[in-house]
Structure 1
Amino acid sequence: MATLLIADHDGAKLGDATAKALTAAALVGHPVDILVAGENVHAIAEAAARLDGVAKVLVADGATLANLLAEPLAELVVGLADRYAVIAAPASSAMKNALPRVAAKLDVMQISEVTAVVAPDTFERPIYAGNAIETVRSREPKLVMTIRGAAFTATASGDASAPIEAITAPGASAASQFLGADLTTSTRPELGSARIIVSGGRALGSAEKFDAVLAPLADKLGAAVGASRAAVDSGYAPNDLQVGQTGKVVAPELYIALGISGAIQHLAGMKDSKIIVAVNKDPDAPIFQIADYGLEEDLFTAVPAMLEALK
């Protein structure tokens, strides 16, 4: 038997989370096939085929899969399930939507947000907002799991290319239809895969100050911009910038937290960052407990000083 890894992509390019999920999937010990589902995704399939260690790439190309709705994607995966012992996917929004449906149709328990592979049937995953790690041993006849990309390094791409096999896309689903998407665009790196993130909290005081303070520093460092839930709830930043348990889970090489106190919800989304720099004028802010470097200073004084030092 083998493992089926469902590729995460935006319709134009393969997501970094796929290469990270492949690293985890390979640790289970089975050959790994990658499923690329979508519309006009052959270039994405070719990129997936160049990832090291991939046995085969399956391509389901059709209009019904254009937006990775849960119903047609789940129907496709369930139809392939007999070939595989493990069905895995990155823990992205689209896959978190589709994989529970796959698990329900196969009548098995899903293992969510895997952060370590202990054995072929045993995995670690965070619980209680990341404050505890649960070790799960599954006795299900088929494993269905999502993989937290922040916990794994990406599999490298090579010159060799795995074979690509075209499969039939499912028909349209009557349960749901795609009406549209309102997406924000930015020239900065994507938050989930950025090497450096500059993140702001409620202490910035307003949306105008959020942009005025964070944007110059992020642009100078070539960084993505993030926000705490408090900043998002206050209207300082859009939802897609939220880092935390109910936002995006990130693990950049450098995470700069400006005016973020360090609530459990936020720490769950960024505490695996390689280096954490915290700026906060409250010496008792919880963020200092996990920061590698802490500066007890008003961020409106500290950030201009940083920019001056970076000239």
Structure 2
Amino acid sequence: MELKNILNNESKLIEYLIIPMIILVIAFIFSKILRLIMSKFVKAASSKLNVDPTKYNFLKNAVSFIVFMIAIIVIFQSIPPLRAYGVTLFASAGILAAIVGFASQSAFSNIISGVFIVIFKPFRVDDIINIGELHAGVVEDITLRHTIIKNFENRRIVIPNSIISEQTITNSTLTEDKVCMFVFMGISYDSDIDLAMKIIQEEAEKHPFQIDNRSQEDVDKGIPEIIVRLIGFGDSSVNLRASVWASNPRDGFAMKCDLHKSIKERFDQEGIEIPFPYRTIVYKEKKTE
């Protein structure tokens, strides 16, 4: 009887040693495979975002941590003497995790949003973007917590990723750099519309930043390089709009500013009036008694 108990105890001891070892080996192999997959994914995503892949190494460490945590839970559940201790231990850990999670909710939100940026790639480093109606500039750096934008005043704007994920993003360089700039001009109702359109076309065509975006089919059809349209009538002006293409947003902005100046000067030379509001003031004399 005693021999049987000893054998049973020895078999249980061997079982309690072998099962955890098998589980840990499986967890180790599975963790290695996941880390290899994550490494390839992070490198590919980082190359498209133009960021340093070492910033996302903690993702691989987080995967390993989760895998080994699951392995430890399985070990505690598979060994009856440890099950009671495991329930108490994980209950205490759960309370602590809830406290820490509540305290760092904002940080986790930024990390999750950063992971989504890595996965979906709405913008990259060196892209020119507008975030909502407030911030615009060039993306200088992307981390899992925040994104750094260099605005056009050479100031750095650090925006948490959770805020970016809730905003509408306008990316001017996501697929291609060239951009169409709309040049709006208003002329008076007495001015020559055809002459005004011709002046706008000539000034736009001779600007060094302007590019010809027509296809060969458009050229064969005789479509002009610069298209100027009458888009509406204002209270005191006839509103014209020219579509002028540039190779990138920076050149496009500079070109648009230059065209405002050169077109205004040509309008003054050719007698095309740019209207402005008039006000008539009437003075009434006091009645004499």
Same fold by TM (over 0.5)?
A: no
Q: Greater strand share, 1 or 2?
A: 1
| Greater Cα radius of gyration, structure 1 or 2 | 2
TM-score by length of 2: 0.29
TM-score by length of 1: 0.27
